[in-house]
């Protein structure tokens, strides 16, 4: 797998979150969160358990309603656009690892990922399937296997592959490394970089801050529902307070 970052150029912000606040009943999960994701880049949100990372991602992808603030995708306000419409418009979140359809085969799951497309069975569709199988050879080998019998790592790959079948211009990933063995974590991050090098902008939410900061062009730190720091991945990885709080001296 290539190490792609050098060939890329980052564009204007493709996704922008402005002063976003989200509640669960009376519980304020995130408050006045603002950040942006550059076109062609990888952005990451890092933070401890309960910081609001998943809530932020789910809200962007239309699965939670907003109390205040707005979300702009390629300049258009998508704050209240439902999830399936966002997928059609090119913004898609990979479900968390176990979000695959367990009784369906790998191929059927990938097919479900393309449900919003009108060109299924076309050459373009087959090319996208080949792209997913190129990124995840394991899925090609296991194409007839029921998703529910795949390992955690394989299901994580399938969840990402399924999202890619909708041809997103921006891919949202919620903790793709969660629960995986170290070797597989490295592999998943390499695949994320490869997906980005192939032209997909990525917003990555991670508890694995060390890997996330190594991978991301821009990074935001969430603490108890607000953004407390931001910078390039390299800047934050080199910052003593970030290292102490999130990296355990491990970058």
Using CB under 6 A, list all residues that contact ligand ATP: 24, 27, 29, 47, 49-55, 207
Q: Considering the complex, what minimum distance in angstroms separates the CB of residue 35 from ligand ATP? A: 14
Q: 204 with 42: CB under 8 angstroms?
A: yes
Our CB check for ligand ATP shows the closer of 206 and 217 to be 206
Q: What does the chain come to in residues?
A: 251
Alpha-carbon gap, residue 251 to 248, rounded angstroms:
8
SS (H, E, C) 14-75: EEEEEEEEEEECCEEEEEEEEEEEECCCEEEEEECCCCCHHHHHHHHCCCCCCCEEEEEECC
CB of 210 to ligand ATP, least distance (A): 15
Least distance (Å) between residue 55 CB and ligand ATP: 3
| Residue number, 116 or 207, with CB nearest to ligand ATP | 207
- For ligand ATP, the closer of residues 35 and 133 by Cβ is 35
Nearer Cβ to ligand ATP (49/144): 49
Q: In what order do the strands lie in the sheet with 13-24?
A: 27-38, 13-24, 68-73, 76-77
Q: Which is nearer to ligand ATP, 130 or 250 (CB)?
A: 250
Helix (H) or strand (E) holding 161: helix 152-164
Q: Give the C-alpha separation, 118 to 155, whole Å.
A: 26
The tokens describing 205, both together, are 């939410």
In the complex, what is the shortest distance from the CB of residue 187 to ligand ATP, in angstroms, rounded to a whole number? Answer: 21
């Amino acid at each position: 797998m290539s190490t792609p970052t050098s060939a890329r150029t980052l564009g204007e912000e493709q996704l922008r979150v402005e002063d976003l606040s989200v509640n669960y009943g009376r519980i304020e999960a995130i408050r006045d969160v603002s950040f942006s994701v550059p076109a062609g880049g990888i952005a990451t949100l890092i933070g401890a358990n309960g910081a609001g990372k998943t809530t932020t991602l789910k809200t962007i992808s239309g699965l939670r309603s907003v109390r205040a603030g707005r979300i702009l995708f390629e300049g258009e306000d998508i704050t209240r656009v439902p999830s399936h419409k966002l997928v059609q418009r090119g913004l898609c979140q990979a479900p968390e690892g176990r979000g695959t359809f367990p009784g369906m085969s790998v191929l059927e799951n990938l097919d479900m990922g393309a449900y919003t497309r009108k060109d299924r069975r076309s050459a373009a569709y087959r090319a996208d399937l080949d792209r997913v199988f190129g990124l995840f050879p394991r899925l090609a080998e296991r194409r007839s296997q029921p998703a529910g019998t795949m390992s955690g790592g394989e299901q994580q790959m399938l969840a990402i592959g399924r999202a890619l079948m909708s041809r997103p211009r921006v891919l949202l990933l919620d903790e793709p490394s969660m629960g995986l063995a170290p070797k597989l974590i490295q592999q998943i991050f390499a695949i994320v970089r490869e997906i980005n090098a192939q032209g997909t902008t990525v917003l990555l939410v991670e508890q694995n801050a060390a890997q996330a900061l190594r991978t991301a062009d821009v990074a935001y730190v969430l603490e108890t529902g607000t953004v407390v720091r931001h910078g390039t991945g390299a800047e934050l990885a080199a910052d003593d307070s970030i290292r102490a709080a999130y990296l355990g001296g491990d970058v």
